[in-house]
Chain A
Amino acid sequence: MTWLALVLLTLGALTGCGAPAFGAGAAPPTGAAPADALRVAPPLAEARRILHVLNRVGFGPRPGDVERVRAVGLEAWIDRQLHPETIDDRATERALAELASIRLSIPEALREYPRPDPGLREKVQNGEMTRAEMMETYPPEKRPFRIAAELQAAKTLRAVESERQLQEVMVDFWFNHFNVFAEKGDVRWYVAAYERDVIRPNALGRFPDLVRASARHPAMLFYLDNWLSARPGFTVPVGPNKGRKAGLNENYARELMELHTLGVDGGYTQTDVTEVARAFTGWSIDRPQVEGRFVFRPRMHDTGEKVVLGHRIPAGGGQDDGERVLEILTHHPATARFIATKLVRRFVADTPPPALVARVAATYLKTEGDIRAMLRAIFSSPEFYGEDAYRAKVKKPFEFVASAVRALGATVDAQAAFGLARASAEIGEPLYQAQPPTGYPDRAEAWVTSGALLARMNFALALASGRYPRVTVDPGALVAGADPRSPDAVLDRLLAVLVAGQTSAETRAVLAAQLTNPEITRLSPDDRGPANTDVAKLAALVLGSPEFQRR
């Protein structure tokens, strides 16, 4: 049976259940679907399914997306998303044009955005120079922080505008998995290249390629200090640090196993950490502030034999020691399980269903870590389409911001994206600024705090009422076709556009109750009937509602 057929069967079984209210907790379908379950699905249930897929596979629907997906067919749409190279995305590329730094090579970035002259900073500290005077000699548009700022804007613009939605979801996912912190030292100059050259090309490719590419990228080498890791007793022979002693640094070795591959319970020991660190000695960065590219330094390398997870790596392997370690780790069943768990957590639920994790892990082992195959296994699973999964995930702040802009059908440009990226930061997710190597968490409890929830509601209000610079929202267009004198019709149209009509009875009732508020529904001059409905305010309520915080 093909996976598409399985989806159809599963979907058929689901639609047979009718459309239970949000949170009703109906059991997921089990067992074989009855033959009559293949009849045409009622529109509402289908809309719910399409909404679910748009919210999970992408950053949520734009006005009209549900209809568009219905027209091409859900399976066909998912299949295209799995092959982003077949999707025309030139409009997004054009919009990204003015964010020039995201296209620079590392040496170019180091040249174009020179580091601050330490003398200038000292002068400001000592009061010999004012901050304003320093700004003049060193304008903001030439400062290194600009690289991360443009990358933030690019990420936001892509999440909102790109037709390759799954690609963007996976770039975000893998960046967090292989996190680097944009504000740690030289990572500032490396981070854009890291996402572009390591994460993006492999986001739907093979997992071992991702591990290999990240292991030798200067951003990762710097972030987790491996570039300084050396055999014990090593003395720097030349350069500005000549004579300095260096030794083993376990930082990368530990995170490679704990966070990138095996997982914290993956069965490695402290001895394995030390052995892996020894294997990676010499994996370094060539002239980090001028060239910033991978180099293997034989003199830093520990040439002795290593034993990693029971595998013997003979002495004298040089650079291949590290490659050998990556091979061992990426073929390990613990890695398959760990990656499967994280993928299922992203796409299905905070607590991943074990049976699905097992199936996805098996796919990993069978396909040598083919990400597309693992995603297929998830997107064709009954767990993915089960009631338990529906709106089970709380959106991260970035997901929330992108989905709200998309829901309103707002048009944005690169300049607008800077402001929207700041909104994500205000709600708790400053992009590329997760300091710990775990990246940003993918569980509800990390994001649901009082301050963050208020920030979400405030963002919804500001966005819907057009207070975000260069984000154009047209509330009238959202409800076009609905009779403006009938507040109920306006509300229904709005709910249809923003959430495919999928709200609980309670939410619908609360929103309907707002319609009697004169602030929402203004009366006609003769007071004889409603004349106008404040669509922006209603839309803000929908975007700030509990349901919209979920995907």
Chain B
Amino acid sequence: MNRRIFLKSGACSLVALAGPPRFLVRTAAADARGKVLVAVFQRGAVDGLSMIVPYGDPAYATARPTIALKPPKRGEGDRALDLDGFFAMHPALAPLVPLWENRSLAVVHACGSPDTTRSHFDAQDYMESGTPGVKATPDGWLARAVKTLPAKPAPFRAVALGRALPRALQGDAGAIAMQSIDRFDMRAADTTARGGFEALYARSVSDVLSGTGYQTFEAMKMLQSANASRIPPANGAEYPRGQFGEAMRQVAQLIKANVGLEVAFADTQGWDTHVGQGAEQGQLAARLREFAGALAAFAQDLGDRMADVVVLTMSEFGRTVGENGNRGTDHGHATAMLALGGAVRGGRVYGRWPGLVREQRFEDRDLAVTTDFRTLFSEVAARHLGIPSAPLFPGWKASQPPLGLFA
């Protein structure tokens, strides 16, 4: 629906194709300080028990003879970093400590899906469609979120940094997927090809290809006139090298360029640590270091603007409480998710702790889910973006009170 409105208003400006899309820039600028939700997906199922360590649970260390993190101890490095006397952060998350201390970072633990699948693709699909157990849902929950927001003629309302449009943004929301801002450009030495292609795609906005083509050229022009790719990181922020740091750097660029961004999506890969996941150091620590470094740089880069931005991290499920025979962990159930920025009441771990003793576990092996991911997602959507939960999660009725994540 929104896409159609955008396309219709786009058709009016076809006569002035050569000029920059000024009306778009103006509309977007009027909403420049709108709220932004940045969804981060840790694909492969992050081990929530290593990310946010329940060192106070007596069953934690014994379940993981070689991969448990050493409990925090004042004045000693290379150990978990205490949060509240029961939970601690993985030491590789050290860049996030200041955000925890200034109460902009909150943790929701034992969070996950009511569906019991331990299949990556099913669980990702369910989390992104927002309908656990139902594969036929045609669109994603973030696409529905964008469609619920007031219509706005901007090509950059919803953007995924990546190759394809993630399931969460699929649907009729006009979301854009791009691998990088820099490469979102016509790579031609002269302007002939660009003008030719634009003219070829300008003739009919009713067709899906021409419509997207038109949107593409509008987006390209807007990016150029906003000079988004040239906006440097501010406040001394330094993004870690790698795909995820790059994605977050570019999300920040889009926010600072005031192009009307409302929902952004970024992936981070490599969390499926079946073998040799490590403890304070090692494979998982390296992944967490990049993850935390990118989030911390993003918050630093945006500075005061973080008041309008919430970053929500998610993963399809967690991992087994016990370590397996290969010093790794297998597919589990609940995990930990983070909410950062906006009016989030940080410095707290939310959710009921189910415990790690065998009989407290889900199917005797996994961290049980005590917070349905939809409870968290709908609270963020409602309190940060002002979206009611009903259209976001069809068929779901909250069975627990809100977490109270927002002030």
Contacting B209 at CB < 8 Å: which of A437, A506, A546? A546
Q: What are the interface flags for B111-148 relative to A under an 8 Å C-beta threshold, 1 for contact and 0 otherwise?
A: 00000000111100100000000011000000000000
Answer whether residue A17 sits at the interface, using C-beta atoms and an 8 A cutoff.
no
CB proximity of A261 to chain B, nearest CB, Å: 15
B124 CB to nearest chain A CB (Å):
8
Contact across chains for B197 and A544 when beta carbons are under 8 A apart: yes
Report if B335 contacts A (CB, 8 A): no
Question: With A and B bound together, what is the CA distance between A169 and B216 in angstroms?
Answer: 30
Selected interface stretch from B89-97, B183-191, B337-345, B371-379: B183-191
Q: Which residues of B contact A225 (CB under 8 A)?
A: 119
Interface mask (B156-193 → A, CB under 8 Å = 1, otherwise 0): 00000001110000100001111100001111101011
Q: Which of A424-439 contact B (CB under 8 A)?
A: 425-426, 428, 430, 435-437
Report if A436-B125 is in contact (Cβ < 8 Å); known contacts: A454-B220, A517-B192. yes
Q: Which residues of B contact A5 (CB under 8 A)?
A: none
Given contacts A251-B119, A451-B177, A510-B199, contact A546 B213 (CB under 8 A): yes
> What band does the interface of chain A fall in when counting residues whose beta carbon is under 8 Å from B?
35 or more
Q: Are A125 and B278 interface neighbours, CB within 8 A?
A: yes
Which stretch from B25-33, B57-65, B200-208, B306-314 is at the chain A interface? B200-208
Contacts of A453 in B (CB 8 A): 209, 212-213, 216
Q: How far is the CB of A123 from chain B (nearest CB, A)?
A: 11
In angstroms, Cα B210 to Cα A435, docked, is 29
CB pair B196 A514 closer than 8 Å? yes
Taking a contact as CB atoms under 8 Å apart, the answer to whether A428 and B164 are in contact is yes
Pair B192/A428 contact, Cβ less than 8 Å: no
> Cβ of B179 and Cβ of A520 under 8 Å apart?
no
Taking the closest CB of chain A, its distance from the CB of B242, in whole angstroms, is: 14
Are B177 and A452 touching (Cβ within 8 A)? yes
Whether A118 lies near B276 (C-beta < 8 A) is yes
A312: B residues at CB distance < 8 A = none
A448 within 8 A of B: yes
A residues within 8 A CB of B175? 449
CB contact list, B66-108 vs A, under 8 A: none
Q: Given A437-B121, A517-B192, are A122 and B276 neighbors across the interface (CB < 8 Å)? A: yes
Q: Give the contacting residue for A244; candidates B179, B210, B325; CB below 8 A.
A: B325
A421 to chain B, nearest CB (A): 14
| Residues of B with C-beta under 8 A to A549 | 209
Q: Which of B119, B122, B200, B207 has most chain A Cβ within 10 Å?
A: B200
Of the four ranges (under 10, 10 to 19, 20 to 34, 35 or more), the interface on chain B belongs to 35 or more
B208: contacting residue among A444, A451, A511, CB under 8 A: A444
Within 8 A of B (CB), among A257-299: 258, 264-265
Let me know if B388 is at the binding interface, CB within 8 A.
no
Contacts of A451 in B (CB 8 A): 163, 176-179, 184
Among candidates B176, B187, B200, B207, residue contacting A507 with C-beta atoms closer than 8 Å: B200
Indicate if the CB atoms of B203 and A454 lie closer than 8 Å: no
In the assembled complex, the CB of A496 is this many whole angstroms from the nearest CB of chain B, namely 18
| Interface presence of B243 (CB below 8 A) | no
Q: Which residue of A lies closest to B216 (CB)?
A: A450
A461 to B275, alpha carbons, bound, how many Å? 44
Task: Contact check, B121 vs A118: say whether CB atoms are below 8 A apart.
Answer: no
Q: Does A540 contact B (CB under 8 A)?
A: yes
CB nearest to A244 among chain B residues: B325
Q: Which of B125, B163, B177, B207 has the most chain A CB within a 10 Å cutoff?
A: B163
CB atoms of B282 and A23 under 8 A apart: no
CB distance from A328 to the nearest CB of B (A): 22
**Per-residue B-contact encoding for A455-497, CB less than 8 Å = 1, 0 else:** 0011001100000000000000000000000000000000000
Specify the chain B residue showing the minimal Cβ separation from A122: B276
What sequence of 0s and 1s flags, for each residue 496-523 of chain A, a beta carbon within 8 Å of any chain B beta carbon? 0000000000110011011001011000
Separation in Å of the B319 CB from the closest CB of chain A? 16
Q: CA separation between A221 and B20, bound complex, in Å?
A: 55
| A448 and B208 contact, CB distance less than 8 A | yes
Chain A residues with CB below 8 A from B121, complex form: 435-437
Q: What distance in Å separates the Cβ of B130 from its nearest Cβ neighbour in chain A?
A: 16
Once bound together, how far apart are the Cα atoms of A544 and B192, in whole Å? 13
Q: B390: which A residues are within 8 A, CB to CB? A: none
CA A454 – CA B120 in complex, angstroms? 31
Q: Is the CB of B207 within 8 A of A546?
A: yes
Across-interface contacts of A428 in B (CB, < 8 A) = 163-164
Residues from chain B with a CB closer than 8 A to the CB of A334 are: none
Least CB distance, A508 to chain B, in whole angstroms = 11
Q: Is the CB of A448 within 8 A of B212?
A: yes
Asked if B283 is an interface residue, CB under 8 A from chain A, the answer is yes
Q: Is B219 an interface residue (CB 8 A)?
A: yes
B286 within 8 A of A: yes
Over the window 277-306 of chain B, the binary record of Cβ atoms lying under 8 Å from chain A Cβ atoms (1 yes, 0 no) is 010011100100000000000000000000
B250 at the interface (CB under 8 A from A): no
A537 contacts partner chain B, Cβ-Cβ < 8 Å: yes
**B164→A454 contact, CB < 8 A:** no
Measured CB to CB, the closest approach of chain A to B113, in angstroms, equals 16
Q: Is the CB of A450 within 8 A of B178?
A: yes
Q: How far is the CB of B122 from chain A (nearest CB, A)?
A: 8
Q: Does B389 contact A (CB under 8 A)?
A: no
Asked if residues B163 and A425 are in contact (CB atoms below 8 Å), the reply is: yes
A450 in contact with B215 (CB, 8 Å): yes
- B212 & A540 in contact (Cβ 8 Å cutoff): no
Q: Which residues of A contact B286 (CB under 8 A)?
A: 125
Asked if A545 is at the interface (CB within 8 A of a chain B CB), the reply is yes
CA distance in complex: A453, B197 (Å): 11
A357 CB within 8 Å of chain B: no
Kindly state the separation between the CA atoms of A127 and B226 in the bound complex, as whole angstroms.
Answer: 41
- Inter-chain CA distance A454–B121, complex, in Å, is 28
Interface bits A406-421 vs B (CB < 8 Å: 1, else 0): 0000000000000000
Q: A514: nearest residue on chain B (CB-CB)?
A: B196
What are the residues of chain B within 8 A of A118 when measuring CB–CB? 275-276
Q: Which of A454, A513, A537 has the most chain B CB atoms closer than 10 A to its own CB?
A: A454
CA distance A162 to B212 in the complex (A): 33
Task: Return the chain B residue nearest A270 by Cβ.
Answer: B133
Please name all residues of chain A whose beta carbon is closer than 8 Å to the beta carbon of B122 when the two chains form the complex.
Answer: 251
- Most-contacted residue by chain B among A225, A444, A450 (CB, 10 A): A450
- State whether B212 touches A537 (Cβ < 8 A): no
Chain B neighbourhood of A462, CB < 8 A: 187
The closest CB in chain B to the CB of A127 belongs to B281
Within 8 A of A (CB), among B209-246: 209-210, 212-213, 215-216, 219-220
Q: How far is the CA of A545 from the CA of B199 in the complex (A)?
A: 10
Assembled-state Cα–Cα distance A538/B155 (Å): 29
Q: Which residue of A lies closest to B172 (CB)?
A: A445
Bound Cα distance A430, B325 (Å)? 33
Considering the chains assembled together, what is the distance between the CA atoms of A4 and B184 in angstroms? 48
**Of the candidates A394, A519, A546, which one forms a contact with B190 in the assembled complex, judged by CB atoms under 8 Å apart?**
A519
* Shortest Cβ gap from A326 to chain B (Å): 21
Pairwise interchain contact B177-A445, C-beta atoms closer than 8 A: no
Q: How far is the CA of A511 from the CA of B197 in the complex (A)?
A: 9
Docked CA distance A537–B196 (Å):
10
Residues in chain B near residue A435, CB distance under 8 A: 120-121
A126 at the B interface (CB under 8 A): yes
Cβ B186 vs Cβ A458 within 8 A: yes
- What's the minimum C-beta distance from B353 to chain A, rounded to whole angstroms? 26
Q: Which residues of A contact B215 (CB under 8 A)?
A: 450
Evaluate contact between A537 and B193: CB separation under 8 angstroms.
Answer: yes
Query: What are 16 inter-chain pairs, A to B, with CB distance below 8 A?
Result: A122-B283, A125-B281, A251-B122, A264-B136, A449-B177, A450-B219, A451-B178, A452-B177, A453-B209, A453-B213, A461-B193, A506-B204, A510-B203, A537-B193, A544-B197, A545-B197
Other than A506-B204, A510-B203, A540-B193, give 11 A-B pairs with Cβ distance below 8 A.
A122-B276, A122-B282, A430-B163, A435-B121, A436-B121, A448-B208, A452-B164, A461-B187, A520-B192, A546-B210, A546-B213
> Nearest 5 A-B pairs (CB), nearest first?
A451-B178, A519-B192, A450-B216, A436-B121, A546-B209
